[in-house]
Structure 1
Amino acid sequence: MRVRQVHHAYRRRVVLRGVDLQLREGVIAGIVGENGAGKSTLLKILAGELRPSRGTVLHRGRFGYCPQQAVLNDALTVRQHLAFFQAAYRLADVSYAEEIMDTLEFTGYVQEQAGVLSGGTRQKLNLTLALMHDPQVLLLDEPYQGFDWETYTRFWDLAARLRHAGRSVLIVSHLAYDTERLDELWRMDGGTLHRQETSRP
Structure 2
Amino acid sequence: MRVRGLRHAYGRQQVLRGIDLDLAPGVLVGIVGENGAGKSTLLKILSGELRPDAGTALHQGRFGYCPQDVALNDALTVRQHLKFFKAAYGLADLRRAEEIMNELRFAEYADVGAGVLSGGTRQKLNLTLALMHDPQVLLLDEPYQGFDWDTYQRFWHLADGLRAAGRSVLVVSHLAYDIERLDELWRLDGGILVPDSAVTP
Q: TM-score range by the shorter chain?
A: over 0.9
CA shift, 1:192, in A, is 0.4
**Displacement of 1:197:** 2.4
Secondary structure in 1 matching 2:21: strand
Shift of 1:65: 0.1
| Runs of at least 4 residues off by over 4 Å | none
Q: Structure 1: give runs of 5+ residues left out of the alignment.
A: none
2:185·2:199 contact (CA, 8 Å) conserved in 1? no
Task: Give the drift of 1:119.
Answer: 0.4
**Partner residue in 1 for 2:110:** 110
Other-structure match for 2:4: 4
Question: How do 1:92-171 and structure 2 match up within 5 A?
Answer: 92-171=92-171
2:182 corresponds to which residue? 182
- Say if 2:75 and 2:115, in contact at 8 Å, map to a contact too: yes
Contact 1:78–1:109 under 8 Å retained in 2: yes
Alpha-carbon distance in structure 1 between the residues aligned to 2:35 and 2:181? 22
**Counterparts in 2 of 1:198 and 1:6: CA distance versus 1, 3 Å:** same
TM-score (norm 2): 0.98
Q: How does 1:15-164 map to 2 (within 5 A)?
A: 15-164=15-164
- SS of the residue corresponding to residue 166 of structure 1 reads coil
Identity of counterpart residues, as a percentage? Answer: 74
Question: Is the contact made by 1:8 and 1:14 (CA closer than 8 Å) also made in structure 2?
Answer: yes
Contact 1:30 1:186 (C-alpha < 8 Å) held by counterparts: yes
Q: CA deviation at 1:196?
A: 1.1
What is the DSSP-based 3-state SS (H/G/I as helix, E as strand, rest coil) of the residue aligned with 2:44? helix
* Aligned mates of 2:145, 2:100 — CA distance in 1: 17
Q: Which moved more, 1:33-42 or 1:8-17?
A: 8-17
Q: TM-score, normalised by structure 1?
A: 0.98
- The structural deviation recorded for 1:10 is 1.3
Structure 2 counterpart of 1:101, which letter? M
Using the TM superposition, give the Cα deviation of residue 75 of structure 1 relative to its aligned residue in structure 2, in angstroms.
Answer: 0.4
CA distance in 2, matches of 1:75, 1:32: 34
Question: Partners in 1 of 2:100 and 2:52 — Cα distance?
Answer: 33
Distance 2:70 2:190 in 1: 28
Shift in Å, 1:198: 3.6
Letter in 1 for 2:115: G
Q: Tell me the matched-pair count.
A: 201
Question: 1:184·1:197 contact (CA, 8 Å) conserved in 2?
Answer: no
